[in-house]
Amino acid sequence: MKAKVSLSLAEICEGLSPATCEEFQLLGKRRAYPRGFTLFRTGESCAGIFWIVSGRVRTSTGGAENISQLAQPGEILGLKEALCGEAYSLSAETNGPAEVSFVSLEDLSVFLAGHPDAAFRIVQRLSGYLGLILEHLRSALRRSSPSN
Amino acid sequence: MGSGTELKAVGRCAGCTVKSEGLFCDLGIGALQELSRIRVESSYPKGARLFEEQDAPGGIYILCQGRVKLSMTSSEGKSVILRIAEPGEVLGLHAAVSGRPYQARAETLEPSVVSFVRREDFLRFLQENPESSLRAAQQLSRNYQSACERVRSLGLAHSAEGKLAGFLLLWATKGRPSPQGTRVVLALTHEEIGQMIGLSRETVTRTMSDFQRRQLVARRGATLVIQNKDALAQFAGI
């Protein structure tokens, strides 16, 4: 199972001042993409995060257990990789005409360094995701068949 | 911070004598001084419980030396090891940030030095030091990935060979190449490996012996040599 940690803009902005949220939104370079445009591929080094302004983006894990999902407007892709300095763990391709805002790693780092509240908000949201998967793990443990 | 069974006093974080690439080890000097001020260092023997599942979140534990097993038990008494924490890792991070009970039990696997930071001090530290928030976010992401792997290993109808092969390949990513194959330290009992991948101790022993007989792996004490990654990958379906 590959982790899809895609926080939304609303989740990050919740609890932040409107000015900070607006500043974050203005960081990115917006661009319109046609259907089928590949934003990034699994294994490519992470250049930054992608915030979907409009349209949808199909993400896929690749490999034998390929899991495909549609990311919605507001979702931010590549955040886990940007924070961890890892290669993208998913591929992302526009599922139709889409407008996407790209924030480079450098711009993201500068923004978060200057906004401790935003950085802390991301920690809280990631913690929430971890809590969910731990509950899922507890359920899976309950359901798992007796050990072979 | 570093590993090893000979324990050293860590002292202040800023002048740490056993520093490693831990989560908070290479923060800026100001943040390290603040961290030194709010943490309390203790030594623990092997088998000590740092916290239990469902304990109220008192704070975080920074593992300075040693190794700690994080495990979860179902209401039916079935256990799964979430991960083995290495020096530099922070334990209890999710509980401290969310304010919810600890989701796992933390138990030392060897004599260990651990620094405790009270939850309220830690939250203030994060909010005042964005760099530390980013480090915390990195670890939460990795913990999330690790939990996903555990769900996967429990949820998929893998064969015992597939589960063990997948585990060994994952573990091999920490190893070093050698003429015989990838060498990695695997200081876990077969029972502990079984708890990580949902197999009984007997099945791990039997399957490991089978892998050794086929010369896919070789084990000498705590050192494991992965001799045939391709064959293991086939078992694991990778």
Confidence of residue B149 (pLDDT cuts 50, 70, 90): confident
3-state secondary structure of B7: coil
Put simply, the answer to whether A123 touches B94 (Cβ < 8 Å) is no
Residues 13-42 (A) with a CB less than 8 A from some CB of B: none
Give chain B's domains with CATH numbers: 13-153 (2.60.120.10), 157-236 (1.10.10.10)
Shortest distance between the Cα of A109 and any Cα of chain B, in A, equals 9
Which token pair is B23?
């989560």
Please report how many Cα atoms fall inside a 13 Å half-sphere around the Cα of residue B185, on the Cβ side.
6
A110 touches chain B (CB under 8 A): no
Shortest distance between the Cα of B66 and any Cα of chain A, in A, equals 24
Query: Is there a domain that residue A143 lies in?
Result: no
- The DSSP output letter for A8 is B
The whole-number pLDDT of residue B90 equals 92
Report the complex ipTM. Answer: 0.74
B22-39 per-residue burial string, b: 16 or more CB within 10 A, e: under 16? bbbbebeeebbebbbebb
Query: Is there a domain that residue A88 lies in?
Result: yes
- Lowest-pLDDT choice from B29-33, B59-63, B121-125: B29-33
Put simply, the answer to whether A126 touches B137 (Cβ < 8 Å) is yes
A92 backbone φψ class: left, alpha, beta (φ>0; ψ -120 to 50): beta
Residues of chain B with Cβ-Cβ distance to A115 below 8 Å are 130
The whole-number pLDDT of residue B115 equals 94
Which token pair is B134?
């980013």
List the single best residue of A86, A89, A137, A142 to mutate versus B (max B Cβ within 10 A).
A137
List the single best residue of B141, B142, B170, B199 to mutate versus A (max A Cβ within 10 A).
B141
Strand partners, A46: none
A141 touches chain B (CB under 8 A): yes
Low-confidence ranges of chain A (pLDDT < 70): 1-6, 63-67, 143-148
**CA dist., res. B92 & res. B49, Å (int):** 13
Mean pLDDT of chain B: 84
Other Cβ atoms closer than 10 A to A106:
10
Residues spanned by the domain of A22: 7-138
Contact B123, B96 (CB under 8 A): yes
Residues of chain A with Cβ-Cβ distance to B198 below 8 Å are 144, 147
Stated as kind and residue range, the H or E segment containing B224 is strand B223-226
Cα separation of the two ends of chain A: 21
The whole-number pLDDT of residue B146 equals 80
**Where do runs of H (alpha helix) occur along chain A?**
9-13, 18-27, 79-84, 105-114, 116-143
**CA dist., res. A139 & res. A129, Å (int):** 16
Total tally of structural domains belonging to chain A = 1
**CA dist., res. B99 & res. B97, Å (int):** 6
CATH code of the domain containing A101? 2.60.120.10
Query: Is there a domain that residue A117 lies in?
Result: yes
3-state secondary structure of B223: strand
B162 touches chain A (CB under 8 A): no
Query: Is there a domain that residue A145 lies in?
Result: no
The whole-number pLDDT of residue B208 equals 94
**CA dist., res. A17 & res. A23, Å (int):** 10
Going from the C-alpha of B172 to that of each of B127, B168, B176, B185, B233, the distances in angstroms are 36, 6, 8, 9, 12
Contact A7, A122 (CB under 8 A): yes
Confidence of residue B210 (pLDDT cuts 50, 70, 90): very high
Tally of helices (H runs) and strands (E runs) in chain B: 8, 12
**CA dist., res. B49 & res. B68, Å (int):** 9
Residues of chain A with Cβ-Cβ distance to B154 below 8 Å are 137, 140-141, 144
Query: Is there a domain that residue A146 lies in?
Result: no
- Give the pLDDT confidence of B158-175 residue by residue, as tens digits: 688 888 888 888 788 777
Put simply, the answer to whether B203 touches A148 (Cβ < 8 Å) is yes
Given a cut of 60, whether residue B10 has pLDDT beyond it is no
Strand partners, A81: none
The answer, as to whether pTM is greater than 0.90, is no
Pick from B115, B83, B123: nearest CA to A130: B83
B188 touches chain A (CB under 8 A): no
Shortest distance between the Cα of A23 and any Cα of chain B, in A, equals 17
